[in-house]
Amino acid sequence: MERRRFLTSSLAASALALARQPRGIAQTSAGKPREYYELRKYHMQSGPQTKLTESYLSQALIPALNRLGMSPVGVFNLTLGPETPTLYVLIPSTSLEALVTAELHLAQDEAFMKAAEPFWNAPATAPAYVRIESSLLIAFEGWPKLTPPPTTAQHAKRVFQLRTYESPTNQDHVRKVEMFHHGEFEIFARAGFAQVFFGDSLIGPRLPNLTYMLSFGDISEMNDKWAAFGSDPEWKKLSASPRYAFESIVSNISNLILTPTASSQI
């Protein structure tokens, strides 16, 4: 069982599972759907064009993606981190084919094209954004579906922490993914974290890496819960294991604080 869980959390096993599934549908070993995510970054410039992009996302892109069965879609402003202003968009799908062909379908969606016209037709002298970057991820075996925090449905104040762990080698990356499945999810839960998604990067910059998202009421709550996490006896035991020595399996961490826009569904 341990070896099976180890293998299913690796990139190689993810690729093999994808090849065996029709139309890019991935499943966990228990047969549950396993989502794919596009994590998109719109690099912006301060000024009126930021509002143009936000209007495009809320009035054109999100409704059109929902019509394609992709929901909930998250849209976030980068609050703390490098390269502000930046808008992050998180798009989930149980079908890889649907996710990677979404732009082709959007171009045939008359309602989308009409709503997107101001964004698409922005002149080169006043572009809606500077550049777009995109990464493709597959949900972890042990957390196969995106889970919005309860505060989303309540329209309550909330912040999100987006963390990316880079590893020096593929083997080290697999060990870090394995570490989540061998106790880290449960430690997060005991500390009171709202766990949103965990994704293994398949395509994107600075591979190998993984990305996950947590949610809190505010930054003060975030700091308190991380303190509870760090003092958990099970975390101390897990992180002391030679197999999971943090300095060996994680070479760099990106830690961002995001704030949802009014149109975000997460």
**Quick one: which of 102, 81, 48 has its CA closest to 219?**
81
- Give the containing element (helix H, strand E) for 7: helix 2-8
Half-sphere exposure of 96 (CA within 13 A, CB side): 21
Contact partners, residue 179, CB within 8 Å, separation at least 6: 238, 244, 249
d(CA 4, CA 15): 15
Is 265 domain-assigned? Answer: no
Is 42 domain-assigned? Answer: yes
- Give, in order, the Cα–Cα distances in Å from 150 to each of 36, 162, 217: 22, 18, 10
How does residue 23 score in pLDDT terms, banded at 50, 70 and 90? low
Is 177 domain-assigned? Answer: yes
Note the pLDDT tens digit of each residue in 129-150.
999 999 999 999 999 999 999 9
CATH no. for residue 232?
3.30.70.100
**How many structural domains is the chain composed of?**
1
Is 113 domain-assigned? Answer: yes
Is 88 domain-assigned? Answer: yes
Q: Considering the entire predicted model, what is its pTM? A: 0.89
d(CA 33, CA 25): 7
Is 212 domain-assigned? Answer: yes
d(CA 175, CA 197): 18
Note the pLDDT tens digit of each residue in 151-207.
999 989 999 999 999 999 999 999 999 999 999 999 999 999 999 999 999 999 999
How does residue 248 score in pLDDT terms, banded at 50, 70 and 90? confident
Is 121 domain-assigned? Answer: yes
Note the pLDDT tens digit of each residue in 46-55.
888 899 999 9
Look up the domain containing 58 and give its range. 2-260
Look over the chain and give the mean of its residue pLDDT values, rounded to a whole number: 91
**Which DSSP letter does residue 73 get?**
P
Kindly tell me if the per-residue pLDDT of 20 is higher than 80. no
Is 266 domain-assigned? Answer: no
